[in-house]
Amino acid sequence: MTGWLLAAAAVLAAAALGRQAGRAARADWGAPWLDRLDGLNRLFCRHVHGLRAPLLALPPEGPALVAANHVSGLDPLVLAAVSPRPLRFLIAREQYARWWLRPFFRAIGCIPVDRAHRPDRALRAALRALEAGEVVVIFPEGGIRYRTERRRGLKGGVAWLACRTGAPVLPVRVDGVRGAGRVLGALFLPSRVRVTAYPPLRCAAPEEGPRLLARLHDLLC
């Protein structure tokens, strides 16, 4: 009898959580199960990682680039939790290749980056996404930067994309992650995450790319 009661309680709790996740969802990912995951992620970031931030000021439609610093594996979840629109993430191929996460990454449209061989393929996939009016997230540091690591120069992909599409670039800084420097471990260490979004930047011509990168470096690094 006790087992049945526990099972019933678990079902009721799951149903209640599903309803809360549905109410918390803000972005339309094109599938009910993804929308519920969107809401669940927002609840997770709010209650486990103390995230209190307004939604990013993205255009309601059309292409946009989000350029963010990269301190941990929690960063994509945080960015999704403050976005009013679905996001297309450029992620390292070795992360995309994890068999137990690959179907999810594929479902949300992540773009794998092979940094050792033909990284240009990922940029061209991102270019097509922007031309289709989507929001693309790029971490221009090229990987997680550890606390003790010296400041890096930024990769030029964000400027290449911005100059070719005219998409606005929204610089976003993530701070307060307790598990900084970790990939999966950062998800399970409660934090007090802060998100700072700066006014959008533009790149009207290729010769403006270096200036865009310098400004992003000042804001994110």
Q: Provide the residue type at 19 as one letter.
A: R
Distance, in Å, from the CA atom of 87 to the CA atom of 136, rounded to the nearest integer, reads 6
pTM of the model: 0.92
Q: Is 161 helix (H, G, I), strand (E, B) or coil?
A: helix
pLDDT band at 218 (very low <50, low <70, confident <90, very high): very high
| Whole-angstrom distance, CA of residue 57 vs CA of residue 197 | 8
| CATH number for region 50-220 | 3.40.1130.10
Strands (DSSP E) found in 63-184: 64-68, 88-92, 111-113, 135-138, 169-175
pLDDT tens column, 9-55: 555 556 666 788 889 999 999 999 999 999 999 999 999 999 999 99
pLDDT of residue 81: 98
3-state DSSP assignment of residue 95: helix
Strand partners, 68: 172
Digit-coded pLDDT (tens) for 92-142: 888 888 888 899 999 999 999 987 778 889 999 999 999 999 999 999 998
In terms of DSSP bridges, do strands 64-68 and 169-175 run parallel, antiparallel, or are they unpaired? parallel
> What does the alpha-carbon distance between residue 177 and residue 74 come to, in Å, rounded to a whole number?
8
Tokens of 124: 């061209």
Domain boundaries, the chain: 1-47, 50-220
* Residues 6 or more apart whose Cβ sits within 8 Å of residue 6: none
* pLDDT single digits (tens) 60-102: 999 999 999 999 999 999 999 999 999 999 998 888 888 888 9
- CA–CA dist 39, 24 (Å, integer): 4
Four-CA torsion 36, 39, 41, 44, nearest 10 degrees? -120
